[in-house]
Amino acid sequence: EEIREMMNHINSYPRKKWNGQAPIDLFVKIYGQEAAELLGLRKIPSDSIHLTPALLKK
């Protein structure tokens, strides 16, 4: 569960090379929201993204 949460934070971070879209946004566009939910993927709001080791120390 910790790993999935970490990946959700990483994949919610917008990338310049994808015109400011996050990997999770592209995944949902290609495979759909249902597929994302089945895999336990969720978008983290941009003001709540944590990309530090502290994320795993909750």
pLDDT in tens, 12-37: 999 999 999 999 999 999 999 999 99
Cβ contact 27:40 at 8 Å: no
* CA dist., res. 5 & res. 19, Å (int): 24
* pLDDT confidence of residue 58: 59
Residues pairing with 15 in the sheet: 21
| Percentage, residues of the chain above pLDDT 90 | 79
Name the pTM for this structure: 0.83
